[in-house]
A and B are shown apart, each in its own frame.
Chain A
Amino acid sequence: MICDVCGAKESSVFLTEIVEGKMKKVNLCESCSKAKGVDDPTGFALADLLLGLGAAQEIEKGSGAAQRCPECGFSQNDFKKTGRLGCAHCYETFGEGLNSLLKAMHKGTNHTGKVPARISRLLERETALKGLQRDLQKAVAEENYESAAQIRDQLRQLEAPTESAEAK
């Protein structure tokens, strides 16, 4: 049997693991098994490796033209080899293919946990801005100019700090 990772050498390491009820098998040649740390049970999860293998195919399906990450130059082939991405921007570049992959490997596709305080402030502001803009449109449509004026003032206030920060 040919090695599932390099696709070149004859495999000599055969692994089976049951992940969430599903049996997964992978065949590796000796050098790939060493490279993937199969001989190190603490650092190695077959699941990770399997997901990595499937991931390369998923990414290929999804990304079409975008062969390389514009930020870091990482390619699908590199992902196939390493099972790791090149930079944070790769999540955008290979987004489509990654999405179905993430769906298969995780509980959900949306992060619900911790958010860095700085980003959480940004996100809050963005949500508030969007909400106010919607209210403003509605007020204008309803020809409720008094409340439209109020909303516009609130919007200006909210937008002010970043503009001054960007101006510096």
Chain B
Amino acid sequence: MKIETVFAHPSDWLRGDGPHHQIVISSRVRFARNVRNHAFPGWAKKAERSQILELIKPQVDDLPEMQDAFSEYMQELNPVDKQVLVERHLISREQAAKNAGSAVVINRRQTLSIMINEEDHLRMQALRSGLQLKNVFKLLDKVDSALEQKLDFAFHPKLGYLTACPTNVGTGMRASAMVHLPALVLSEQINQIIQAVNKIGLAVRGLYGEGTEAMGNLFQVSNQTTLGEKEDEIITRLNQVIEKIIEHEQNARQLLLQKRIGTLLDQVGRAFGVLTHAHSMTSKEALNLLSFMKLGVDLGFFPDDHRPVIDELFMETQPAHLQKSSQQKLQVEERDALRAGIIREKLKQFPEPDIGQKPESGNGTTEKPDDE
């Protein structure tokens, strides 16, 4: 599979059809693994690194899950292509900075991606839409079990899987969910949530930025520790916490609807107004406004069948995706103009926000049948 094919098809996890997809964008699990008797990638000399790469890559390419996969050496990818893969969460920024001696293999549906010679010899991750950590774990566990028959993983009976960084030793597993929490941010409860989650050994981070500064009201919740707890225990605990966060976000949304409907309508209305009329927009502004559009769809201000347009825009307005779609090198101002243009075009068919429970009778525009 070629890189153009990857770009032409949006990742499966972006389709937004998983469980609890209104609040949980995606679930991700990654394992860190190293092969025995070789230095970790950061310490290995160039020759050893390529030796490790040639040992691992054929085995990864051979996996049944990787039939018709995208498989490439990092030096073969240009910076924009790499950045697109980063924006799709298919490779890490660290891997994007690598060249000769490292590689990436991504399955056709873009739900499974395996980085070779990142910080560890193998960084494999599975990624799905919505809250389905258990399914994601199962997929990755299967892949790991297949690989361990071919590759001799560095494993210590007491310490578990040995990793370059001691923070990953043990299971080598990081499980995480990307959550969209606009109501908790609007009602200023988000910092309390972050602190509570931190207290029980899980981490919450802004996906782009920290705390209340988080852009697009997007956060990532993940396990902090990897040693002393079984994989399924970590997943179960994380799952419980995320279900609680969903509950809090839903309550906060109800509360806003009941007590601060004015604020809510103002935010969604402004987002709609600016997005449909702006001629220059930074990716930060776009993320923040799209977040309120997404909330608007969740709350029924916009018809549900318009949801995919918003979900796609989250990705298409990212810098490298823009760059890729324009086929030429863009200056910052050009990029902001192009971004605004794409958004205006995509939202052309978008109906005005429907306030629903109108305070006064109005003139029945909401019930108008679409007979045009």
Q: Which residues of A contact B (CB under 8 A)?
A: 18-21, 37, 40-43, 45, 47-48, 51-52, 55, 71-72, 74, 78, 82-88, 91, 98, 101-102, 105-119, 123
Contact = CB atoms under 8 A, between A and B. Distances in A.
B169 interface: yes
A42 B93 contact: yes
B210 A43 contact: no
Interface string B86-128: 0000001110000000000000000000000001000000000
A78 B165 contact: no
Interface of A is mostly: loop
Contact of A84 (B40, B170, B230): B40
A37 B224 CA distance: 18
Given A107-B225, A111-B158, A87 B43 contact: yes
A74 B43 CA distance: 8
A90 to B, nearest CB: 8
B311 interface: no
A47 B93 contact: no
Nearest to B145: A117
A19 to B, nearest CB: 6
A111 B173 CA distance: 12
A52 B148 CA distance: 29
B159 interface: yes
A111 B199 contact: no
Given A72-B43, A106-B228, A111 B205 contact: no
B39 A86 contact: yes
A154 B339 CA distance: 73
Contact of B226 (A21, A41, A106): A106
B43 A84 contact: yes
B141 A84 contact: no
A83 B156 CA distance: 20
B315 interface: no
Of the listed residues A40, A72, A102, A106, the one surrounded by the most CB atoms of chain B closer than 10 A to its CB is: A106
A163 to B, nearest CB: 21
Given A109-B228, A119-B155, A88 B162 contact: yes
A118 B201 CA distance: 32
A37 B93 contact: yes
Given A48-B165, A106-B226, A113-B230, A20 B199 contact: yes
Given A105-B225, A106-B226, A113-B231, A51 B92 contact: no
A45 B205 CA distance: 9
A40 B209 CA distance: 8
A51 B198 contact: no
Of the listed residues B167, B199, B201, B210, the one surrounded by the most CB atoms of chain A closer than 10 A to its CB is: B167
Contact of B201 (A20, A78, A110, A114): A20
Contacts of B73: none
B250 interface: no
B227 interface: yes
A84 B153 contact: no
B40 A85 contact: yes
A114 B171 contact: yes
Given A42-B207, A114-B231, 8 more contacts: A20-B224, A42-B92, A43-B93, A47-B167, A84-B42, A106-B228, A111-B157, A113-B171
Contact of A37 (B37, B94, B231): B94
Contacts of A20: 198-201, 224
B144 to A, nearest CB: 8
Nearest to B198: A18
B18 interface: no
A47 B224 contact: yes
Contacts of A40: 93
A29 B160 CA distance: 35
B198 A19 contact: yes
A86 B43 contact: yes
B170 A113 contact: yes
Contacts of B154: 88
